Structure 1
Amino acid sequence: MKINSLPTVVLASCVACAAQTSFTAESISEAFTKGEAHLNLRMRYESVTEDTSAGDNTGSAVTLRSRLNFKTDGYQGFYGFVEMDDVSNFTGSANDSVNGKTAEPLIADPVGTEVNQVFLGYKNWDTEFKYGRQRLTLDNHRFVGHVAWRQNEQTYDGFTIANSSVDKLKLNYAHISNVNRIFGESSPVGDTKMDTHLFNANYTFAAGSLTGYAYLLESDDNFAGFKRMDTDTYGVRWQGKTGIVAYNLEYASQDSAGDNPADYSADYMLAEANISVAPLVIGVGYETLSADDEGFFITPLATLFKFQGWTDNFLNKGLGNISEGINDAYLTVSGVAYGMSWQIAYHDFSSDQDNASGDSDLGSEFGGFIAKSWGAYSAELRYANYSAGDSTPFNGGGLTLVDTQKLWLTFNLNF
């Protein structure tokens, strides 16, 4: 196991110091004895079928993620946290991103054991500081997320500050030195060294909340393609509610920066509403990641599974967009019945610009899930079916879209 960009002294401190706002421990040893350990087991069956020109290409995997963590009690404002993950594969055959089975469908859950989180925290003055490897999410995960859907989640090595000293105002800053990606330590792209600054400020009004952000990404890694992450993104997000309608409006602009091989300026736009009509919630939305002749808007730190459908056809090596840009019009219907939550979703995709053949149809996706929790247990069944539509070849990294069906059955147990 390796831990990039974290000094040994900090790792030792994470295991030797502790805190919560209660500051209940009277000594370092008591901080350990009053700490809490938790174990999570997540078993998943995933199957993929791709309807290629040569016939159906199928893959499946049964994986288990075992997660054990420990958080010390608080001592003079300090606390420590450490979390270990192990991913095992029991049966099935698929491309897990590192096993060399590139002819089979991708199920990006490589086996391995690693440190998922280890950090030293401090709370005081309505502020929380964290230094080390940590989970980091901002807003709806569109720009910064932890990709919790995959068995090996994405975490960040760095320093974060969260402040709420001013009433109704929340300030967040993060400096990221390394991204621990979902592909694991055995992959050449499992880590991305960075010198990235993230700023996020949110203020709550009577009618909703306003967020402004600046995400300044710079890759310090010379691996091919990582310099494409060098971008400056500035945006604003409004979340409001009126009557039975909750809505989100967001706009961001992005420019290439640093050593980015592209030279471009592109926009991001989101408009969505969720209408509560008991017992249903009906959601409608439209999202655009635009492109110009020199480049396209990217979100390489996002939880991409949450966006543009669940079959992940538009990941484009983790950039989250293709060279022509993507428009996503979507409709969801969700509710709760017999103690189970459920949702059905439909997406219609088109490119922001026509491709080289003059086409813009990126196809559509239909999917749904049903989930239930009881005590320490939870289970979910999810399905998604993507239809490629009239236009399959697009320019983004040689992307070719094919009809895809995916099925997941997931069980969780928490101790």
Structure 2
Amino acid sequence: MKNIHKTLNTKTLAISVALALAAIGVSQNVLANDITTALTSGTASADFNLRYEEVSQDNALQDASALTLRSRLAYTTGKVSGWSAMMEVEDTRIVMGQGDYSVPQTGYNSGIYSVIADPEHTELDQGYVQYSSETFTANIGRHVIAWDGQRFIGHVGWRQDRQTFDGVSAKYNPSKELTLNYAYLTQRNRIFAEALDQDSKDHLLNASYQTTLGTITAYGYLLELDNSTDSALDTYGVSFVGSSMAGETKLLYALEYASQSSEPAAADMDADYILIEAGAVFSGITAKLGYEVLGSDDGIYGFQTPLATLHKFNGWADIFLTTPAQGLVDTYVSLGGKVAGGAWTVMYHQFEADEASSTVDDLGSELDLSYGRSYGANYSAGIKYSAYSGDSGRVDTDKLWGWVGAKF
């Protein structure tokens, strides 16, 4: 009997091992099949933007012109248990030799022509692994992050080489009304190919709650360069953006306040940000009146938004990509609507210093015009013009753009 039990135990062990190995083999085959299915069931996409840009400034630089083609090719896999991956390559080329412009940040024609910030480049635009469920999404790798209209965190998508970030980001929706966002960034991939990419240790926190009158958002953006220097920029703020109906007129409103502290090696600086915007939609026209203040600390330091899509704000001529030390007050009015199947916008800005000095007070004015439309699901075209009238040492600047785009 003893030998029989021993034989049975041996057989049982052998059967168990065989079943375990079979299960492992099955699970490996299932996983392999899932991965194969994910790879073969993914989607490929292409995005092309051919743009002409012209810049004329009232200074010693020669007028600039550029005809560039930006191409993006991407592939996104299918999902395996909520997991997927995405890879996208971006390339910008000068077309037909139309490259009479300067990109000082990369050394291209530096100091000869006015600046057009579209260097030739080829790079990995996005490459990340994603996990997603009904309430949670996380990305690991290089990807686009664009929050709250991109006033503080954006992709600078107007330029041919858009801004992306290396790191981890997560989005959690515990309810339909509440959204929680967090990101930790290890590198900022700027818009000048790899010339000004920055290693960082940035923490981005953003929480929003939808009410019947609008969305309340609180945020903290803690930016720090990872370059062995004491360079921190901390911004905390809250905003309220919404709309309501008054008869057949839709009322628009936005309020925002933020406080910023900058800690360079030399001294600590503090500045505030204020936005008040009101508008209405009536008879197909959208009208807005806004007052935006990027404050100053005693005329020495101006409130900064280095990771924003800056082209969207304070004028399309891009005069104030860096806030002056005296700060910036932007009073603006805009009108927009639709005609001939496309959308038009007219915008006027009046700029002044937040803390004026004997040499810096009135910072000029700007008129912006645009028209764009889509042609079916795949094609688009547009034209855009900006005229800045300078003051306090800033030169008059005119810019013109025309573009056609295709997405597949």
Give the TM-score normalised by the residue count of structure 1: 0.86
Match of 1:93?
100
Residues paired across the two proteins, number:
367
Match of 1:118?
127
The yes-or-no answer on 1:108 pairing with 2:101 is no
Distance 1:276 1:260, change over 3 A: farther
Question: Which of 174, 178, 182 is matched with 2:183 structurally?
Answer: 174
* Partner Cα separation in structure 1 for residue 134 and residue 286 of structure 2: 39
Distance 1:340 1:124, change over 3 A: closer
| Residues 215-258 of structure 1, C-alpha deviations (whole Å, 9 max, x = no match) | 11111136xxx965x2111100001213221111000001124x
CA-CA distance at 1:274 after TM superposition: 2.3
| Aligned 8 A contact 1:110 1:183 in 2 | yes
CA-CA distance at 1:323 after TM superposition: 0.4
| Aligned 8 A contact 2:49 2:405 in 1 | yes
| Letter matched to residue 56 of structure 2 | T
Point out the structure with max Rg over C-alpha: 2
Q: How does 1:66-85 map to 2 (within 5 A)?
A: 66-85=71-90
The yes-or-no answer on 1:297 pairing with 2:298 is no
* Partner Cα separation in structure 2 for residue 193 and residue 248 of structure 1: 34
Match of 2:367?
366
Match of 1:152?
161
| Aligned 8 A contact 2:301 2:327 in 1 | no
Q: What secondary structure does 2:36 align onto?
A: helix
Question: Which of 194, 198, 219 is matched with 2:225 structurally?
Answer: 219
CA-CA distance at 1:180 after TM superposition: 0.3
Match of 1:127?
136
| Letter matched to residue 312 of structure 2 | K
CA-CA distance at 1:351 after TM superposition: 0.6
* Partner Cα separation in structure 2 for residue 368 and residue 260 of structure 1: 42
Distance 1:313 1:227, change over 3 A: farther
CA-CA distance at 1:354 after TM superposition: 1.2
* Partner Cα separation in structure 2 for residue 139 and residue 78 of structure 1: 26
Match of 1:347?
349
| Aligned 8 A contact 1:50 1:402 in 2 | yes
CA-CA distance at 1:266 after TM superposition: 0.6
Task: List alignment gaps of at least 5 residues for structure 1.
Answer: 1-24, 393-400
Q: What secondary structure does 2:291 align onto?
A: strand
Question: Which of 376, 379, 390 is matched with 1:377 structurally?
Answer: 379
Q: How does 1:13-412 map to 2 (within 5 A)?
A: 27-52=34-59, 54=60, 57-90=62-95, 91-97=98-104, 98=106, 99-124=108-133, 126-185=135-194, 187=195, 189=196, 191-221=197-227, 230-243=232-245, 244-257=250-263, 259-293=264-298, 294-315=300-321, 320-357=322-359, 359-375=360-376, 376-389=378-391, 391-392=392-393, 401-412=394-405
* Partner Cα separation in structure 1 for residue 198 and residue 109 of structure 2: 21
| Letter matched to residue 116 of structure 1 | D
| Letter matched to residue 233 of structure 1 | T
Distance 1:76 1:135, change over 3 A: same
| Letter matched to residue 47 of structure 2 | N
CA-CA distance at 1:26 after TM superposition: 6.0
* Partner Cα separation in structure 2 for residue 310 and residue 407 of structure 1: 10
Q: What secondary structure does 2:357 align onto?
A: coil
CA-CA distance at 1:114 after TM superposition: 0.2
CA-CA distance at 1:261 after TM superposition: 3.5
Distance 1:382 1:300, change over 3 A: same
* Partner Cα separation in structure 1 for residue 134 and residue 405 of structure 2: 37
| Letter matched to residue 176 of structure 2 | D
CA-CA distance at 1:127 after TM superposition: 0.4
Find runs of 4+ consecutive structure 1 residues off by over 3 angstroms. Answer: 259-262
* Partner Cα separation in structure 1 for residue 398 and residue 381 of structure 2: 20
Task: List alignment gaps of at least 5 residues for structure 2.
Answer: 1-31
| Aligned 8 A contact 2:101 2:109 in 1 | no
Q: What secondary structure does 1:354 align onto?
A: coil
| Residues 290-349 of structure 1, C-alpha deviations (whole Å, 9 max, x = no match) | 01134221100000000110001111xxxx311000000001110001101101110000
Q: What secondary structure does 1:57 align onto?
A: coil
* Partner Cα separation in structure 1 for residue 407 and residue 202 of structure 2: 34
Give the TM-score normalised by the residue count of structure 2: 0.87
Distance 1:211 1:26, change over 3 A: farther
| Residues 26-84 of structure 1, C-alpha deviations (whole Å, 9 max, x = no match) | 610110111000011100000000012x5x73010000001000000111110000000
Match of 2:21?
none
Q: What secondary structure does 2:301 align onto?
A: coil
| Aligned 8 A contact 1:263 1:295 in 2 | no
